[in-house]
Amino acid sequence: MVDVSHKPDQIRRAIAEAVLECQPGTLRLIRQKALPKGDVLTVAQIAGVLAAKKTSDLIPLCHSLPLSHADVQFRLRRDGIHIRAEASTTAKTGVEMEALTAASVAALTLYDMCKAVDKTMTVTGLRVVEKVKE
C-alpha cells in the first residue's frame, strides 16, 4: 500500500456511474417489480452500498476507509438503467474506488437478476464523474 500517513485527514467525496443497457421489456418488468428474482432495484442498491463498504477486501492494496456515507441511485431510461454511486469519508485518501465498486456491483447485481429475461444486456460507462476533497 502507498504510505499516506503524512497526509492530513480531509473530507472526501466521489461519485461514479455505470449504465446497464437492456431491452424495453426488461425495463417494463423492473418497473412493475415482476422479475422472477423480485425487486431488483432495491437489491442492487443494497449490494452497491455493501460493496462500497468492502472495497478494500476486494481490491488489493486499496486502503480501508471508514465511510461516512454510501448511496446508489438508479435512473431508468429508454435504453437502460443509469447507475450513480456516491461515497464519502474523512480520511487521508480518496473514495473513488469505493464509488466505482458500488456502481459496478450494483450493475452486476442488476445483470444477474435480469439475465433470465434478457440475454442482450451490457454494462458500460463505468467511470468517476466527480472527486472532491475539502
65-87 burial: b if 16+ Cβ within 10 Å, else e: bebeebbbebeeeeebbebbbbb
112 assigned to active site: yes
Which one of the listed residues 3, 9, 57, 112 is annotated catalytic? 112
Contacts of 60 (CB under 8 A, 6+ apart): none
Residues identified as active-site: 112
